[in-house]
Amino acid sequence: MAAQTTEAFADGLDQAFSWRRMEIEAMRTEVQRLNPDQLHRPYSRMILRSSVALLYAHWEGYSKQVLQAYLDYVAKRRLKYGELRSELVVTAMRPKLERMVVDMEFAKSFLGDLSKLESQRAQLPKRGVVDTGSNLRYKRFAGILAALGLDIAPFETRQHLIDVRLCDARNDIAHGGESVPDPNGVLELITIVVEMMSELSTQLSNAAAQSAYRASVEPTRTDDQSH
């Protein structure tokens, strides 16, 4: 998703979401087809367990893909530090701040030029910002959004779902546990994860279109919008 324009970025979001949503909907259909009287059978157990594992994979995979794409999109604006919102300034400065801790000469030089910072072109890191840690819990997700100047509020009520019903359940299955999720719980999880992916897509599309990465521009809340 190396998008140069706002339109190309939005199209990339749609394409990344589209194939995942089709696969998730196919998964929903398989769960709905299960016979309630045969949930103990190997096939039913396999469908339910694999559904949670695949659903988590789409949650992490999509989030990582589109958040990295947004960071790359902002980097391509080639803005100066003074033109970026404060969260992105901190993100851009992180490598320098970390170096200052261990390199006193660099720290002195950097602080001496601090007054010129606003007019310098920001260098956003290409790596290390959108780091899911292969376990995208709420706290990590919130940290990534904060680093990009995005709004975590629409996801705040989903913390337990993300951490327990999605991450913990997936980890148990992926590490060889034998837990079998309830079909109704899986169907609810599917609905909510699709909603979260849609919310993230909408927020990123709006942020790009409205230049929310710029200083003094707040990210638009998308509570009442749909993808």
64 vs 128: CA distance, rounded Å: 11
Q: Is residue 205 part of a domain?
A: yes
| Residue pLDDT, tens place only, 60-80 | 999 999 999 999 999 999 999
pLDDT at 138 exceeding the cut of 60: yes
What is the total count of domains within the chain?
A: 1
| Residue pLDDT, tens place only, 139-180 | 999 999 999 999 999 999 999 999 999 999 999 999 999 999
Q: Is residue 223 part of a domain?
A: no
Q: Is residue 225 part of a domain?
A: no
**CA within 13 Å, CB half, 52:** 29
pTM for this structure? Answer: 0.88
pLDDT at 44 exceeding the cut of 60: yes
Q: Is residue 194 part of a domain?
A: yes
Lowest-confidence segment of 7-21, 63-77, 82-96, 170-184 by average pLDDT: 82-96
pLDDT at 219 exceeding the cut of 60: no
**Structural domain for 186, as ranges:** 6-209
Mean pLDDT over 209-215 rounds to 95
pLDDT at 227 exceeding the cut of 50: no
Q: Is residue 214 part of a domain?
A: no
